[in-house]
Amino acid sequence: MFLNYPFTPPFHTLAISNRDDLIALVVFLASSISASLILGKLKIRTAKLQQLSNEGLFLSSLAKDVIRGRNSIDEILHNSKSTFGLREFAVVRKEGIVTNETLEVIFGSIPLITKDISGSQIVLNSEYSLLADPAIIDVDLRNLVTTFGSQILILLEREIFENNEKALSDIRQTDQMRVALLNAVSHDLRGPLSSAKAAISSLMNEHVTWSAADQRELLESSNHSLNQRNH
Q: Is residue 117 classed exposed, middle or buried when 0-12, 13-18 and 19+ CB atoms within 10 A define those classes? A: buried
Taken as a whole, the chain contains a residue count of 231
Position 36 scores a pLDDT of 92
CA distance 89 to 205: 83
In 59-193, which ranges are E strands?
88-95, 102-109, 122-123, 128-133
Q: Is the pLDDT of residue 229 over 60?
A: no
Position 38 scores a pLDDT of 92
Q: Which of 21-30, 61-70, 131-140 has the lowest mean pLDDT?
A: 61-70
CA distance 135 to 119: 8
Q: What distance separates the 2 farthest-apart alpha carbons in the chain?
A: 155
| pLDDT tens figures, 9-22 | 787 787 877 877 78
What letter does residue 100 receive in the DSSP assignment? G
| pLDDT tens figures, 107-148 | 888 888 888 888 888 888 888 889 999 888 888 888 888 888
Q: Give the mean pLDDT of the chain.
A: 78
Position 75 scores a pLDDT of 82
CA distance 137 to 135: 6
Q: Is the pLDDT of residue 3 over 70?
A: yes
Position 34 scores a pLDDT of 92
Q: Residue 58 contacts by C-beta under 8 Å, 6 or more apart in sequence?
A: 80, 83
